[in-house]
Amino acid sequence: MTARIIGTGSAVPEQIVTNEDLSKIVETSDEWISSRSGIKERRVAKEETTTSLAILAGKRALENAGVTAEEIEVIIVATCTPDYFFPNTACQVQEAISAKHAVAFDLSAACSGFLFALSTAQAYIKGGIYQKALIVGAETMSKMIDWSDRSTCVLFGDGAGAAVVSAEETGVLELVQKSNGAGKGVLSCKARETRNLLNHESETKEYLYMEGQPVFKFAVKTVPECVEEVLKKAEVKKEEIRYYILHQANSRIIQSVAKRLKEPEEKFPMNLSLYGNTSAASIPILLDEMNRNGMLNRGDKLVLSGFGAGLTWGAVLLEW
């Protein structure tokens, strides 16, 4: 048996923040942001939280799959922006949707999070441990951003995407997952420092830090490599792939990956102009959009690929 995605859902905050809006708070312009990244606007949470977005996306995925919450045996929420250190986000989703029989935990792999959650679900299903999983990528990146840092605040957005995964004859065909802790310095966000009775002096700046160019280079090198690797392992040719659904960080990264793979850009759908980089949520939000727009037919071969802080990256080849 293998993991098959049988339903998708997504949720984004109501509030739209355009490039024009940002140009009023930092020295930037729509021209700079859209030409460097392809982003035109993003959603920013006001009332919404990582948890509320995860719950809504999860409910929509269950509805879309025609599966009840009671059937779900494991919930994995991929997030690097949880609302609590504990309890984890997944337990809060479990309670909200009444998934009484599910074990629930979060997974931290930044922008690769959804891919890693799908890979974990695949391992459970292949091992015969669970048959039905709800996997979610949910983020409120806006709370990690220094809104006076124009080099990062223009790039990220908030949202959540989810998928119901079921043990079936076809689905995930092959996967690769990679990590390189030595690359931690180019993309990070520090957690709260130890402030106890022995050490109460520390003052951490708990904001996202990114060196744009090394991250860009990392992405355009590793994504084509792991896509090639997953195809080779499965003995599937590029011509057989209907779509490459990549983490939506930057249109120039995606175009460059397409070029390196010698594949037409039309096979690389994008929605980042509307949402910016939503980290672990970007792949499932796009997948849900494609699913609901009727772009996906059963039997289509898709490659999903994510990359992000850690460094972490990976690719999953699946049959829809």
Residue 303 and residue 245 in contact, taking contact as beta carbons nearer than 8 Å: yes
Whether 277 is catalytic is yes
Q: Considering beta carbons, is residue 36 or 233 the nearer one to ligand ACO?
A: 36
DSSP string, 177-221: EEE-GGGGGGEEE--PPP-SSS--------SEEE-HHHHHHHHHH
Judged by beta carbon, residue 97 or residue 253, the one nearer ligand ACO is 253
Contact by Cβ (8 Å): 125, 163: no
As a whole number of angstroms, the distance between CA 303 and CA 316 comes to 6
DSSP string, 63-103: HHHT--GGG--EEEEE-SS-S-SSS-HHHHHHHHHT-TT-E
Selecting among 88, 250, 277, 291, the annotated active-site residue is: 277
Encoding tokens for residue 80? 């690097």
Query: Measured from the CB of residue 134, what is the shortest distance to ligand ACO in angstroms?
Result: 23
Is 271 a binder of ligand ACO (CB under 6 A)?
no
Closer CB to ligand ACO, residue 231 or residue 249? Answer: 249
> Phi/psi class of residue 164: alpha, beta or left (left: φ > 0; alpha: ψ in -120 to 50)?
beta
Per CB under 6 A, contacts with ligand ACO among 115-144 are none
Residues 6+ positions from 163 with CB-CB distance below 8 Å:
5, 7, 8, 9, 61, 118, 134, 135, 136, 284, 287, 288
Question: Which amino acid is present at 189?
Answer: C
Q: CB 157 → ligand ACO: shortest distance, Å?
A: 11
Which positions from 243 through 262 interact with ligand ACO, judged by CB under 6 A? Answer: 249-250, 253
Question: Which CB, 105 or 209, lies closer to ligand ACO?
Answer: 209
- Look up residue 147 and give its amino acid: W
Using the minimum distance from each CB to ligand ACO, give the nearer residue, 122 or 277. Answer: 277
Which of residues 40, 143, 150, 238 is near ligand ACO by CB under 6 A? Answer: 150
How many chain residues touch ligand ACO (CB under 6 A)? 23
Q: What value does the CA radius of gyration of the chain take, rounded to a whole number of Å?
A: 19
Task: Provide the minimum distance between the beta carbon of 119 and ligand ACO in the complex, in angstroms, as a whole number.
Answer: 18
The answer to the question of residue 286 lying near ligand ACO (CB under 6 A) is no
Compute, in degrees rounded to 10, the torsion defined by CA atoms 52, 37, 25, 278.
10
Among 80, 91, 111, 153, the active-site one is 111
110 interacts with ligand ACO by CB under 6 A: yes
Out of 279, 291, 305, 312, the only residue in the binding site for ligand ACO (CB under 6 A) is 279
Name the catalytic one among 19, 91, 226, 247. 247
List residues with catalytic annotation.
Answer: 111, 247, 277
Which residues here bind ligand ACO, judged by CB under 6 A?
28, 32-33, 36-37, 110-111, 150-151, 154, 187, 210, 212-213, 215-216, 249-250, 253, 277, 279, 308-309
